[in-house]
Amino acid sequence: MPPVKHLSVSSVGHYMKCARSWKFCYLDRIPSPSTPDMLFGTAFHNVVEAYIREDHAPDLPELFRAEWAQQVEACQEIAWGRRTYEGMMALGVRMCASPDIIGALTRMGVALTATGAPMIEHFFKFDIPGLDVPFLGYIDLVHDDGVIGDLKTSRTCWTPLDARMSLQAPLYMAGLRSTGREVGSFFRHHVFAKDRAGYELWETEITEERIAWACEQVRAVWMGVKHGVFPPSTSMAWWCSPSWCAYWDVCGRAGS
Ligand code: SF4
């Protein structure tokens, strides 16, 4: 049995993109530098959560400046590429001052827990038949009408296909159900697009068929992990390149 204690959406998505890279990351534990976009996403996410938690009080641009500085400072190695610290800071401040984004956050009603705290970062863990390990995750937020919400910073706006093909939505729906909570049949993706510093909302219906399809994907990944199947990604994929893959040098893809 591989020394893997659980699966998650990000781990499954990683394997589906490139199983070899998954092995380098989760089994061989080869350290890889963080990217500015990853750190940006975390900083922006934290700002939005603080806005919700503190009942719309914070000065968002100021909060972003502090979060961004903290994320960068805490990181040992960052592959900056063409990005710069100042450029990403300016982008985050612009997004946090965007009327489009502030309006969306103001309208975002969030459910409360029994203790009156907003339902954000809600943990779930459940068993998917055929898996020897649990599947777990954190739901970004549950809306006041019971619908699950996810916060995503994206390079560009989404297409209908992005929303329809999301593996996360059906799995998080199944995850929240497993906690015994009454869940509707919709899922909201709150997308914060960096290219236009704007916001868009995608709401999709999650059918039983979509949940079954998502569990099937997870099972297929687990079978690959369990039986040591770690093929390389297709070289045609945009992420299989020295500028995107953190394991380019280790992989030996350059010489293949
Ligand atoms: S270089 Fe390509 S095949 Fe190798 S680990 Fe990276 S994405 Fe996978």
State the distance from the centre of ligand 1 to the C-alpha of 81, rounded, in angstroms. Answer: 18
Name the closest-CA residue to atom 1, ligand 1: 248
State the distance from the centre of ligand 1 to the C-alpha of 245, rounded, in angstroms. Answer: 6
Domain enclosing residue 135, as ranges:
109-244
Contact between 203 and 164 under an 8 Å Cβ cutoff? The reply is: no
Residue 11 lies in a domain: no
Name the closest-CA residue to atom 5, ligand 1: 21
Name the closest-CA residue to atom 4, ligand 1: 251
Residue 75 pLDDT > 60:
yes
Contacts of 25 (CB under 8 A, 6+ apart): 14, 32, 247
Query: What whole-number distance in Å separates Cα of residue 118 and Cα of residue 195?
Result: 30
Give residue 217's pLDDT band: very low, low, confident or very high (50, 70, 90): very high
Structure tokens at 90: 């300016």
Contacts of 54 (CB under 8 A, 6+ apart): none
Judgement on whether residues 124 and 190 belong to the same structural domain of the protein: yes
State the distance from the centre of ligand 1 to the C-alpha of 155, rounded, in angstroms. Answer: 22
pLDDT number for residue 192:
96
Residue 253 lies in a domain: no
Residue 170 pLDDT > 90:
yes
Judgement on whether residues 82 and 115 belong to the same structural domain of the protein: no
> Which of 47-61, 155-169, 190-204, 242-256 shows the highest mean pLDDT?
190-204
State the distance from the centre of ligand 1 to the C-alpha of 238, rounded, in angstroms. Answer: 10
> Nearest 10 degrees: CA dihedral of 126, 127, 131, 137?
-10
Judgement on whether residues 138 and 226 belong to the same structural domain of the protein: yes
Chain CA centroid to CA 164, Å = 16
Give residue 244's pLDDT band: very low, low, confident or very high (50, 70, 90): confident
State the distance from the centre of ligand 1 to the C-alpha of 191, rounded, in angstroms. Answer: 28
Residue 59 lies in a domain: yes
Judgement on whether residues 81 and 146 belong to the same structural domain of the protein: no
Judgement on whether residues 193 and 67 belong to the same structural domain of the protein: no
Judgement on whether residues 237 and 116 belong to the same structural domain of the protein: yes
pLDDT number for residue 56:
75
More confident residue, 234 or 172: 172
Judgement on whether residues 64 and 117 belong to the same structural domain of the protein: no
Residue 255 pLDDT > 60:
no
Give residue 180's pLDDT band: very low, low, confident or very high (50, 70, 90): confident
Query: What whole-number distance in Å separates Cα of residue 220 and Cα of residue 215?
Result: 9
Sequence-separated contacts (24+) of 102-109 with Cβ below 8 Å: 102/60, 103/199, 104/190, 104/199, 104/201, 105/48, 105/51, 105/52, 105/56, 106/56, 108/52, 108/141, 108/143, 108/149, 108/190, 109/143, 109/144, 109/145
Judgement on whether residues 80 and 173 belong to the same structural domain of the protein: no
Judgement on whether residues 192 and 123 belong to the same structural domain of the protein: yes
Contacts of 178 (CB under 8 A, 6+ apart): 124, 125, 126
Q: How many domains would you assign to the chain?
A: 2
pLDDT number for residue 30:
94
Judgement on whether residues 151 and 239 belong to the same structural domain of the protein: yes
Give residue 209's pLDDT band: very low, low, confident or very high (50, 70, 90): very high
Residue 3 pLDDT > 70:
yes
Characterize the bridge pairing of strands 135-142 and 198-205.
Answer: unpaired
For ligand 1, which residues put their CB under 6 angstroms from it?
18, 20-21, 232-233, 239-240, 245, 247-248, 251, 253
Distance separating the N- and C-terminal Cα atoms of the chain = 30
Which atom belonging to ligand 1 lies closest to the Cα atom of 233?
Answer: 3
**Any idea what the CATH number is for the domain that residue 179 is in?**
3.90.320.10
**Percent of the chain topping pLDDT 90:** 74
Which atom belonging to ligand 1 lies closest to the Cα atom of 235?
Answer: 2
Write the pLDDT tens digit of every residue in 76-135: 889 888 899 999 999 999 999 999 999 999 999 999 988 999 999 999 999 999 999 999
Which atom belonging to ligand 1 lies closest to the Cα atom of 17?
Answer: 7
pLDDT number for residue 71:
96
Structure tokens at 79: 């592959």
Contact between 35 and 252 under an 8 Å Cβ cutoff? The reply is: no
How crowded is the C-beta side of 209, counted as CA atoms within 13 Å?
3
Residue 223 lies in a domain: yes
State the distance from the centre of ligand 1 to the C-alpha of 240, rounded, in angstroms. Answer: 5
Instruction: Give the residue from 74, 97, 120 where a domain finishes.
Output: 97
Judgement on whether residues 237 and 113 belong to the same structural domain of the protein: yes
pLDDT number for residue 254:
59
